[in-house]
Amino acid sequence: MRSALLSNREKEVLRLVAEGMSNQAIGEALTISVRTVEAHRSRIMLKLNLASVAELVRYAVRNQLIDP
């Protein structure tokens, strides 16, 4: 499974992005900066070979990281 490539924090960010949270809301929830959220998001998309947020959400649903 490709999600094994992700750190625990990246999995957390992936789940929150897929649930529709903004970068700012994710940063506040995880007490990290917006730039750190953006960096995690970029690395997630690179590691999973995803090109859009829609693909990220689809990946999260298919891999049961969030409920459909």
Domain ranges of the chain: 2-62
Task: Give me 6's structure tokens.
Answer: 């992700």
Q: Three-state secondary structure along 5-66?
A: HCCHHHHHHHHHHHCCCCHHHHHHHHCCCHHHHHHHHHHHHHHHCCCCHHHHHHHHHHCCCC
Question: What is the predicted pLDDT for the residue at 48?
Answer: 94
16 vs 5, more confident: 16
CATH: 2.40.10.10, 1.20.810.10, 1.10.10.10, 1.10.15.40. Which one for 2-62? 1.10.10.10
Question: What is the predicted pLDDT for the residue at 52?
Answer: 94
pTM score of the predicted model: 0.88
At 10-62, the pLDDT tens digits run 999 999 999 999 999 999 999 999 999 999 999 999 999 999 999 999 999 99
Tell me whether residue 14 is exposed, middle or buried, using C-beta atoms within 10 angstroms of its C-beta: 0 to 12, 13 to 18, 19 or more: buried
Question: What is the predicted pLDDT for the residue at 3?
Answer: 64
Would you tell me how many other CB atoms lie within 10 Å of the CB of residue 67?
Answer: 7
